[in-house]
Amino acid sequence: MIEGSVRSVGRQLWVNVQLIDAGSGAHLWADRFDVDPANLGEAQGEITGRLARSFDLELVTAATRRIAQERVADPDAQALVLRGRAWLGRPSSFETRQEAQLAFERALAIDPQSIDAKVCLAITLVINLLDGWPRSPRQDQKQAEQLLLEALEQNLNLAKAHFAMGMLRRIQGELTEAQIELERAIALDRNYGHAAYQLGLVLAFRGKPQAALPYVQKAITLSPHDPNLGVFLAVLGACHLLLGHADQATDLLRRGRAANPRYWYIHFWLAGALGFKGDLYEARVALAKAIELNPEVTSLARYNFQHPWEIDPAYLTLRAKTFDAGLRSIGFPDE
């Protein structure tokens, strides 16, 4: 059940919204929006987007909580999809991803025609590939593509399937196709914050970090309490680093680290930003933590091997002058 109120405070409007469990009366979520009456149209879009994202997160969490409380011994496919989505919605780590993947695989085994299970499992496989956590890179990539093709054959207008396909095309080094897929996802769901974030990433990897900034910022605006807000902040920081904005980059990456200290990528890019800025001691500490979380990345060559989509000449030129230079300043090897 949704409740809300509007209060006029000076020249601003305060819009208060809360989600209540109709069965128990418990408050699940609440937020306040400060609205300028002169920009009601823009504010309406922001409120709608944030409500959609926040309600989705809270409803998944609440449903998963009920499943656990009821101690369902043999959950059905949809219950397992909800359980997997709850794990996937937690701050990124190897452990949370493995739990999510297991739940989606069990759901698909129970119902091989479940579109939700196919798309959610594909998303998990793809983001594990992107983050260097796959069980079998070639097999996972092949399985993800097959699952997404099957899902899109069942329903061509699945925003999440186009979102996942966009990420998969990035892994395959097809950045133009990745951009097309992500733009399609946003056209189908204009409040899809994660698709906006991924589109920003693709633009950055195409050597256009300035164009990427508004998309990543939109993701943050749509989902300011997202469990993976740390990743959004880190990518925003990485874009600023590529533009040579050392202070903004380190501030955003530090905030990203605080929001999700278990994600190696944040520590790694923070190390590069701090090295670029000249804060060598803190940069070395951040680099040590990144390697602790991802022992496979021990040189720029190893990083490049794990990120084969980072091949655009304009992007590599920007990265060489900023991120790479920062890592080299603290002794991180090329090979």
The one-digit pLDDT tens for each residue of the chain (335 residues) are 556 666 666 666 666 666 565 556 555 556 666 656 666 555 555 556 555 555 555 555 555 455 444 444 457 888 889 888 888 877 778 888 999 999 999 999 999 999 999 999 999 999 999 887 777 888 999 999 999 999 999 999 999 999 999 999 999 999 999 999 999 999 999 889 999 999 999 999 999 999 999 999 999 988 888 888 999 999 999 999 999 999 999 999 999 999 999 999 999 999 999 999 999 999 999 999 999 999 999 999 999 998 999 999 999 999 999 999 999 999 999 99
Q: Which of 143, 105, 106, 108 is nearest to 126 (CA)?
A: 143
Measure the CA–CA gap between 81 and 59, rounded to whole angstroms: 13
Measure the CA–CA gap between 85 and 97, rounded to whole angstroms: 10
* 76 within some domain: no
**CATH code of residue 246:** 1.25.40.10
Retrieve residue 230's tokens. 């740390």
Cβ atoms 90, 64 nearer than 8 A: no
* 134 within some domain: no
Measure the CA–CA gap between 57 and 19, rounded to whole angstroms: 12
The confidence score (pLDDT) of residue 72 equals 47
Q: Which residues are within 8 A (CB) of 95 and not within 5 positions of it... i.e. 6 or more apart?
A: none
* 94 within some domain: no
What is the residue range of 61's domain? 1-68
The confidence score (pLDDT) of residue 16 equals 67
* 19 within some domain: yes
* 318 within some domain: yes
The confidence score (pLDDT) of residue 273 equals 98
**Residue ending a domain, choose from 68, 86, 110:** 68
Cβ atoms 212, 201 nearer than 8 A: yes
Measure the CA–CA gap between 116 and 118, rounded to whole angstroms: 6
Alpha helices in 172-226 (DSSP H): 175-188, 193-205, 209-222
State residue 260 phi and psi, 5-degree precision: -150, 85
The confidence score (pLDDT) of residue 49 equals 55
Cβ atoms 53, 226 nearer than 8 A: yes
**Residue ending a domain, choose from 68, 93, 118:** 68
- Helices vs strands, H then E, count in the chain: 16, 3
pTM attached to this predicted model: 0.79
Measure the CA–CA gap between 161 and 63, rounded to whole angstroms: 23
Q: What is the DSSP string of 14-40?
A: EEEEEEE-TTT--EEEEEEEEE-GGGH
The confidence score (pLDDT) of residue 73 equals 46
The confidence score (pLDDT) of residue 25 equals 59
* 173 within some domain: no
Q: How far is CA 79 from the centre of its chain?
A: 23
State residue 136 phi and psi, 5-degree precision: -150, 100
Question: What is the end-to-end Cα distance of the chain in Å, rounded?
Answer: 57
The confidence score (pLDDT) of residue 88 equals 84
* 320 within some domain: yes
Kindly report each contact of residues 295-301 with a partner whose C-beta sits within 8 Å and lies 24 or more positions away, as own/partner. 296/132, 297/132, 297/264, 297/268, 298/333, 299/332, 299/333, 299/334, 299/335, 300/324, 300/327, 300/332, 300/333, 300/334, 300/335, 301/334, 301/335
* 317 within some domain: yes
Indicate the number of domains in the chain. 2
Residue in the block written with tokens 């490049």: 304
**Residue ending a domain, choose from 68, 88, 108:** 68
